[in-house]
Chains A and B, each alone.
Chain A
Amino acid sequence: RKEVEQDPGPFNVPEGATVAFNCTYSNSASQSFFWYRQDCRKEPKLLMSVYSSGNEDGRFTAQLNRASQYISLLIRDSKLSDSATYLCVVNLGGSYQLTFGKGTKLSVIP
C-alpha cells in the first residue's frame, strides 16, 4: 500500500463548481498534513496546512480525520486559475521528510 494515496483524477469541472479531493495515508504516526498546488512544469507551492479541527482559507476548506487516516480538500466556486495538480503531503513525527501523493489534476473549464 502506498504511503499517501489520492483520487486518480483528472477532474474536469465547469467554472463555479464545487470539487472535492480525497487522500488517505498509511502511517498512523503521521503528524503534519498539507495540500500543495503544482502548476504544469512548475514547482509545488504550499496551498494550506491541514489541522485536526479543519480549516478554511477563502474558497478552500481542508479536513483531517485521524481515525480514518483521511484528508480532504474542498474547492468552492472554482476559477479557471484553480486548474493545477493538487498534491496531498504528509510528514511523520520526528522525520524531516515530506511524503507526497501522486497528485490529482484539476481542469476548470469555461
Chain B
Amino acid sequence: DAGVTQSPTHLIKTRGQQVTLRCSPKSGHDTVSWYQQALGQGPQFIFQYYEEEERQRGNFPDRFSGHQFPNYSSELNVNALLLGDSALYLCASSGQQGDYGYTFGSGTRLTVV
C-alpha cells in the first residue's frame, strides 16, 4: 500500500521563478494538506484541499496556490519565488471525517538561489 508520494524530491530555483510541487495521497485518503518547514522550525500549515476546493488556508501570501484533481492528487504552486521560500514542503493526506491520522510524504526540498 503506497503511502504519500511527492515529487520532485529536490529542486533548485532562481529568485522570481515559479515552481510546482506534486503530491499523491495515500490510498483511501481524499484530503490533502500542504506544510512548509523551514530549517530548525516546525511545519507551518499552508492550506488543505478537499473535494477539489481549498477548505482552509494558513497565513501564507497569495503567491502560494494549489489545486486538487479528481483522483485526489494535489499540486502546490509558488509564484515569484523569494529566498525565504527555501524550505522542505510536506504534503499530508487524511480521510475527511475529522480523521487526524495524517500521513506525511517525505517532502520536496526547495532551494531558491
* Binary contact track A19-51/B, C-beta < 8 Å → 1, others 0: 000000000000010100000001111100100
Q: Which residues of A contact B105 (CB under 8 A)?
A: 43
Q: Which residues of B contact A98 (CB under 8 A)?
A: 33, 35, 43, 45, 92, 100, 102
The answer to the question of A91 belonging to the interface, with a C-beta cut-off of 8 Å to chain B, is yes
Q: A85 to B101, alpha carbons, bound, how many Å?
A: 19
Task: Indicate the size class of the contact surface on chain A.
Answer: 20 to 34
Which of A57-65, A67-75, A76-84, A100-108 is the contact stretch? A100-108
Number of interface residues of B (CB under 8 A): 22
The answer to the question of B73 belonging to the interface, with a C-beta cut-off of 8 Å to chain A, is no
B107 touches A102 (CB 8 A): no
Q: Which residues of A contact B102 (CB under 8 A)?
A: 46, 98
Q: How far is the CB of A30 from chain B (nearest CB, A)?
A: 12
CB < 8 Å neighbour of A99 from B31, B45, B100: B45
The total of Cβ contacts below 8 Å across the A-B interface reads 47
The answer to the question of B18 belonging to the interface, with a C-beta cut-off of 8 Å to chain A, is no
Q: Which residues of B contact A99 (CB under 8 A)?
A: 45
Q: For A2, give the chain B residue with the smallest CB separation.
A: B42
Q: A97 to B55, alpha carbons, bound, how many Å?
A: 10
Chain B residues with CB under 8 Å of chain A are: 31, 33, 35, 40-45, 48, 55-56, 58, 90, 92, 100-102, 104-107
Given A43-B104, A87-B43, 17 more A-B residue pairs with CB atoms under 8 Å apart are A4-B42, A34-B100, A42-B106, A43-B90, A43-B107, A44-B90, A44-B104, A49-B100, A96-B48, A96-B55, A97-B48, A97-B58, A98-B102, A100-B44, A102-B40, A102-B41, A102-B42
